[in-house]
């Protein structure tokens, strides 16, 4: 059995991992602070401000993700990571001074442009930072598990700090977290990619590499299958993120605290799966993980409209577990099946395509939540299950 912490024995990965952990805490501060600002400006209409901010976030990822991946293959990935940290620190430092919702939109869009440049560089740096290929999966599993755990624990911690310091002051704590994370990144050795001959960085070549990243993503049968299963996960997962609050508070007539418990169960399930998935060492097992995760998340949300609070906790715990099983193998497959000098562009393409799935999934979830109340989860499960079956029939990797 793989120990997910075994990758931390590598000192370079340890520093990279610590920088990510601190950054994720900072992200939690950002979104708790944004939610509180949205309520200050929008009151009962704060959801519209938050949904617009989320849409702008995904839009930045889709537009800039592929280009960011190409850059990660041309420039020292360490340099990309620390520069984006310092720029994001400056943007977050502006948030306490906003006076209108449109200013939030502008800052969030620019913040996530630099997030889009950071993420492919970080993902591509993991295989570089881990010297033992056998611990690739452990490192990626630990990174994803930390992401999921802090997605649950981070907002609670951020909420407590916000209650103590205030909604606007929390952004200063957020900015400080970027500085600390950048210090760990600066302590890393250069993360340059080995070049094969001279490369002229011209615009046409950049877009050639953008297309190459997508081609590599879709021409490998296993990676393509993993990416398409992520589409299934996005369709089902968006139903949870968009419609759970309406079901818990509107149909079950429960409180904000109950909603928090349900979403915490979803995050805890995801974290458990992220740790457990480090034991899937072979490609065949990763395909099995994708099959189980894709099917299980469809089934788990199908009953969401017909259960009370405790069964909903259990179903969402299973859904979180399933979503991670469906989403994580693609990162490991890219690390194993794509040459290191191509990692940046492929991770960048993956980053953009996986967020494009969510750009489709969020409107579907919103439409079902508005027009099919009392059965939105069942319909979402039906759509995702049909898609899951079609992907298996036409894209299941034979080899």
Domain ranges in the chain are 1-192, 200-399
1-192 homologous superfamily: MFS general substrate transporter like domains (1.20.1250.20)
What's the pLDDT score for residue 143? 75
What is the secondary structure of 301-353 as a DSSP string?
A: HHTGGG--HHHHHHHHHHHHHHHHHHHSHHHHHHHHHS-GGGHHHHHHHHHHH
3-class DSSP assignment, residue 254: coil
Find how far residue 198's CA is from the centre of its chain: 34
- Which of the 8 DSSP states describes residue 359? H
What is the C-alpha R_g of the chain?
20
Structure tokens at 357: 């799935």
What's the pLDDT score for residue 189? 82
Question: Residues 68-87, buried b or exposed e (16+ Cβ, 10 A)?
Answer: bbbbbbbbbbbebbbbbbeb
| C-alpha dist (Å) from residue 317 to 175, 237, 273 | 32, 12, 10
Tens of pLDDT along the chain (399 residues) come to 455 566 677 788 888 888 888 888 888 788 777 767 776 777 656 556 766 787 788 888 888 877 777 777 777 888 888 898 899 999 999 988 988 888 989 999 999 899 888 887 887 787 777 766 666 667 776 776 677 667 655 655 666 676 677 768 888 888 888 889 888 888 888 776 655 544 444 444 656 766 777 888 888 888 899 999 999 999 998 888 778 877 887 788 887 677 778 877 887 887 788 777 655 555 557 788 889 999 999 999 999 999 999 999 999 999 989 988 888 788 778 877 777 777 777 877 787 788 888 888 878 887 888 788 888 899 999 999 999 999 999 998 876
What's the pLDDT score for residue 87? 92
What's the pLDDT score for residue 38? 73
Query: Quick one: how many helices (H) and strands (E) in the chain?
Result: 14, 0
What's the pLDDT score for residue 148? 61
* Residues 203, 205, 211, 217, CA torsion sign: negative
Structure tokens at 279: 């034991």
What's the pLDDT score for residue 203? 46
- Which of the 8 DSSP states describes residue 186? H
H or E element that contains 67: helix 46-74
Is 200-399 a domain of CATH 3.40.50.2300? Answer: no
Structure tokens at 60: 């930045």
Q: Do domains 1-192 and 200-399 have the same CATH topology?
A: yes
């Amino acid at each position: 059995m793989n120990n997910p912490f075994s990758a931390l024995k590598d000192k370079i990965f340890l520093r990279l991992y610590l920088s990510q952990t601190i950054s994720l805490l900072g992200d939690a501060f950002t979104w708790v602070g944004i939610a509180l600002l949205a309520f200050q400006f929008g009151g009962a209409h704060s959801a519209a401000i938050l949904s617009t901010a989320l849409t702008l976030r995904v839009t930045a990822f889709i537009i800039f993700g592929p280009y960011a991946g190409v850059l990660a293959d041309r420039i020292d990935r360490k340099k990309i990571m620390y520069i984006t940290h310092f720029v994001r620190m400056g943007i977050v430092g502006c948030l306490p001074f906003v006076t209108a919702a449109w200013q939030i939109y502008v800052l969030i869009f620019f913040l996530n442009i630099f997030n889009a440049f950071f993420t492919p560089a970080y993902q591509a740096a993991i295989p570089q930072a881990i010297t033992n290929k056998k611990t690739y999966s452990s490192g990626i599993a630990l990174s994803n598990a930390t992401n999921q755990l802090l997605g649950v624990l981070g907002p609670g911690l951020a909420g407590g700090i916000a209650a103590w310091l205030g909604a606007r002051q929390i952004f200063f704590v957020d900015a400080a977290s970027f500085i600390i994370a950048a210090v760990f990144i600066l302590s890393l050795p250069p993360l340059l990619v080995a070049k094969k001959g001279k490369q002229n960085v011209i615009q046409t070549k950049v877009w050639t590499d953008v297309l190459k990243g997508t081609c590599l993503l879709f021409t490998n049968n296993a990676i393509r299958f993993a990416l398409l299963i992520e589409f299934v996960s996005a369709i089902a997962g968006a139903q949870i993120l968009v419609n759970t609050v309406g079901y818990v508070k509107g149909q079950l007539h429960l409180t904000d605290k109950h909603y928090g418990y349900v979403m915490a169960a979803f995050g805890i399930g995801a974290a458990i799966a992220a740790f457990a998935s480090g034991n899937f060492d072979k490609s065949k097992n990763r395909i099995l993980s994708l099959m189980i995760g894709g099917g299980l998340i469809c089934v788990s949300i199908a009953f969401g409209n017909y259960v009370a609070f405790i069964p909903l906790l259990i179903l969402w715990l299973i859904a979180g577990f399933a979503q991670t099983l469906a989403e994580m193998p693609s990162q490991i497959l890219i690390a194993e099946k794509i040459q290191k000098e191509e990692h940046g562009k492929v991770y960048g393409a993956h980053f953009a395509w996986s967020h494009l799935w969510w750009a489709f999934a969020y409107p579907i979830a919103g439409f079902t939540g508005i027009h099919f109340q009392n059965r939105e989860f069942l319909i979402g499960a039906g759509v995702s299950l049909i898609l899951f079956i079609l992907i298996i029939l036409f894209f299941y990797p034979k080899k």
